[in-house]
Amino acid sequence: MNILLVEDDSVTAEHIHKGLIEAGYSVDVISDGQQALLMMAAKQKEYSVLVVDRMLPSLDGLSLVRALRQDGCETPVIFLTAMSGINDRVMGLEAGGDDYLIKPFAFSELLARINALGRRGGLQRGEAVLKVCDLEVQMIDRIVMRCGDIIKVQQKEFSLLVILMKNTDRVVTKAMLLEQVWGFHFDPKTTVVETHISRLRAKVDKPYTSQLIHTVRNIGYSLHA
């Protein structure tokens, strides 16, 4: 997967570049908004995800993404920015961003979001049945089954499970779960995610021999065999 990183802070750019290379991605780094626009015009189809800072020289990140969307570019965009005002996230998403990550950030958080966005195209086509090992989720009937047993889960537990299954083998961070399951873009200051994951585990993992939901320390959760 090729990623275009548009970031004018050299330390941040270097760190992300190095981290993504280590994670197996191919990364191009540009520090200027106008140059990024030119680059996308020339090589748009080569990139799977764009990571864009908002405060950039010559053309700010919002204008860059707006221009790309007007040109018909559908490449997923993550804003990576220090602008954390209460309207900034909305402005970013309205400009055409797909995700909004606020600095300072943990690299694992960025990586998880890039992974989720990079896979999004395929997932959005909508699988009717999600299956990981002996765990199965029927999306239309909202049925969860493991080893042939029907497991009764609450609405939010179902949402949690679906997100984890759609990101099988990848890490989903707590912040991503808070945003996607509850729509919280703030720190709940309690163990909301941990508690609901614990309840979900008690239903889909504990009665069975193999554990599928794994905790990734200080980051989030991953569902895999």
Partner 1 sequence: MLSKNLLNSTSFQIAASSFVQIFYFFIVIGAVIVLMVNAELDKHLTRSVLETKKILQTQYLEKGEAGLVQTIEQYGQGRHAENHIYFVADKNSVKIAGNLAVPYRKYGWADVKPEVLGLDEELPFRVYGYKLGELYVLIGVSREITEEVFEIILFVLGVGFSLVLGFILLNGLYQAYITQSRIALIGATLDRIAAGNLMERISLQNNHDDIDQLSVKINAALEQISQLVNNLEQVSVDIAHDLKSPINRLNLHVYSLLKVLEYESEAADKAQLVVAEATAINNTFEALLRIAQIESGARKAQFQHIDLKDTLFSLLEAYVPVIEDGGFHSHIDILKSLPLDINGDKELLSQMFANVLANSLRHCSKGTTLSVFAGYKRKGLIQVIFSDNGAGIPAVEREKVFRRLYRLEKSRTTSGTGLGLSLVKAVAHLHDATLKLEDNEPGVKITFLFKAVDNNSGNSSYTKSHKARFF
Q: Which residues bind partner 1 (CB under 8 A)?
A: 9, 11-12, 15, 18, 55, 82-87, 90, 103-107, 154-156, 182-192, 195-196, 198-199, 218
DSSP 45: G
**Nearest approach, Cβ of residue 46 and partner 1 (Å):** 26
Nearer to partner 1, 191 or 210 (CB): 191
3-state secondary structure 82-149: CCCCCCHHHHHHHCCCCEEEECCCCHHHHHHHHHHHHHHHHHCCCCCEEEECCEEEECCCCEEEECCE
Cα gap 130→37, rounded to integer Å? 38
Q: Which two tokens stand for residue 82?
A: 């220090």
Cα gap 98→118, rounded to integer Å? 11
Nearer to partner 1, 82 or 139 (CB): 82
Nearer to partner 1, 166 or 196 (CB): 196
Q: What is the CA radius of gyration of the chain?
A: 19
Cα gap 24→81, rounded to integer Å? 24
Report the SS3 class of residue 72.
coil
Nearer to partner 1, 134 or 179 (CB): 179
Contact 50, 78 (CB under 8 A): yes
Nearer to partner 1, 25 or 75 (CB): 25
Nearer to partner 1, 122 or 186 (CB): 186
**Nearest approach, Cβ of residue 2 and partner 1 (Å):** 22
